[in-house]
């Protein structure tokens, strides 16, 4: 569904009022993204996960004027934040998943993009909202959909309907949780004895109780919440679809940059970039945050940036892909 230009307010009819919020999210690896993506005037830039617009605000002026910026997000409320942040820039905000970048380019008669950025996962803003259920630090409703209007199962639906084995598989596959079976058993026992699990607080408490053992650096609920969020939003399927098509969506010499936050995503990005003959991997090793950035923005601790360039057709005898700018 196209989202209006940032300068125009969204239509108010039939749209439930959304709280006007200030963004608390800080973009990660911003300098590295600027340097490795190297957008230049006149280019077509696509931010597939615009969030509150932190990266786009920095990158868009590098391609404008003359260029064009498309910015997608699956979460309509994030697009509201982006619209406020980017109101001074002619950025086209689009309510669509990044797995559909190809369709969005086509709708606008754009053949290919010069630069595509993905900053995966969820933002600090979504974590802070009490009606989404991403955080186990409070007792919120267990939803976890990026788009609350999408007719997909919420985290509460999954936790209360799947059997023990299905839940364990989700925790193991998407959370790499070694106590997956034990946790799934505890959840099923709890919902049978104490009624449906509807809140983040109760879920987190059941997880913590079921894996009680030597103290670990991270809250035992972390991996289970990550796993449920990935399952609810089918996140890896979106990433796989993107990775299968990104080389076609990029113009020759175009670059794709992906920031991931856990090994399930990073492994896929690394492999897909490496295995695609049309792509030249520019980052031999993933770019990570400096100690200074981690100090000032702890969220950047697990961020990994990988960048690939679509080979140029050799026109002038130079080896394709060796020129850093297009
Ligand atoms: C880490 S935040 C992006 C932050 C942004 N780079 C910034 O600087 O403000 C990730 C964003 O991706 C969005 N998202 C998650 N999955 C998506 C998908 N499949 N398609 C589009 N957006 C998605 C989330 O709603 C969230 O707003």
Given a cut of 70, the residues of the chain with pLDDT beneath it are 1-21, 213-215, 313-326
What pLDDT is recorded for position 217? 75
Nearest CA to ligand 1 atom 5: 51
Distance 188 CA to ligand 1 centre (A): 32
CA of 80 to the centre of ligand 1 (A): 13
pLDDT score of 117:
98
Domains of the chain: 30-125+235-310 (3.40.50.150), 153-233 (1.10.150.170)
Query: For residue 66, what pLDDT is reported?
Result: 95
Bridge partner list, 229: none
> Which pLDDT value is given to residue 313?
66
Note whether 311 and 252 are within 8 A (CB).
yes
- Residue to substitute in 52, 74, 103, 127 for testing ligand 1 pocket (most ligand atoms within 8 angstroms of CB): 74
Task: Give 110: exposed, middle or buried? Use CB within 10 Å, 0-12, 13-18, 19+.
Answer: middle
Residue nearest to atom 19 of ligand 1 (CA): 97
Candidate from 23, 49, 118 with most ligand 1 atoms within 8 A of CB, to mutate:
49
What are the tokens at 307?
């960048």
Q: Which atom of ligand 1 is nearest to the CA of 53?
A: 9
Q: Which atom of ligand 1 is nearest to the CA of 47?
A: 6
pLDDT of residue 21: 61
Q: What is the pLDDT of residues 178-218, one digit of tens each?
A: 999 999 999 999 999 999 999 999 999 999 999 876 667 78
State residue 229's pLDDT score: 97
The answer to whether the CB of 139 falls within 8 A of the CB of 200 is yes
Mutate to test the pocket of ligand 1, among 26, 51, 60 (most ligand atoms within 8 A of CB): 51
| 253-279 exposure pattern, b = at least 16 Cβ within 10 A, e = fewer | bbbbbbbbbbebbbebbbebbeebeeb
pLDDT at 25: 84
Nearest one of 297, 303, 294, 276 to 119, comparing CA atoms: 303
CA of 74 to the centre of ligand 1 (A): 7
């Amino acid at each position: 569904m196209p989202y209006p230009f940032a300068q125009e307010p969204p239509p108010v009819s039939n749209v439930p009022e959304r709280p006007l919020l200030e963004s608390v999210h800080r973009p990660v690896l911003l300098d590295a993204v600027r340097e490795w993506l190297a957008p230049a005037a006149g280019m077509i830039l696509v931010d597939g996960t615009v969030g509150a617009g932190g990266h786009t605000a920095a990158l868009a002026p590098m391609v404008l004027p003359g260029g064009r910026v498309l910015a997608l997000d699956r979460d309509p409320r994030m697009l509201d934040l982006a619209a406020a942040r980017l109101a001074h820039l002619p950025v086209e905000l689009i309510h669509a998943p990044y797995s559909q970048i190809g369709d969005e380019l086509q709708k606008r008669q754009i053949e290919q993009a010069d630069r595509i950025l993905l900053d995966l996962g969820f933002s600090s803003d979504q974590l802070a909202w009490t009606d989404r259920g991403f955080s186990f630090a409070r007792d919120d409703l267990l939803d976890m959909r990026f788009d609350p209007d999408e007719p997909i199962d919420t985290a509460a639906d999954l936790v209360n309907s799947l059997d023990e084995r299905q839940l364990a598989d989700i925790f193991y596959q998407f959370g790499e949780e070694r106590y997956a079976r034990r946790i799934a058993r505890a959840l099923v026992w709890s919902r049978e004895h104490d009624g449906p699990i509807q809140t983040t607080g109760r879920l987190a408490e059941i997880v913590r109780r079921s894996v009680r053992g030597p103290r670990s650096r991270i809250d035992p609920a972390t991996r289970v919440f990550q796993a449920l969020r990935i399952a609810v939003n089918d996140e890896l399927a979106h990433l796989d679809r993107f990775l299968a098509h990104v080389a076609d969506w990029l113009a020759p010499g175009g670059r794709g940059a992906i920031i991931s936050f856990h090994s399930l995503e990073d492994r896929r990005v690394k492999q897909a970039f490496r295995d695609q003959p049309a792509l030249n991997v520019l980052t031999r090793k993933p770019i990570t945050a400096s100690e200074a950035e981690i100090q000032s923005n702890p969220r950047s601790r697990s961020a990994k940036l990988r960048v690939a360039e679509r080979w140029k057709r050799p026109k002038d005898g130079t080896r394709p892909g060796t020129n850093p700018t297009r």
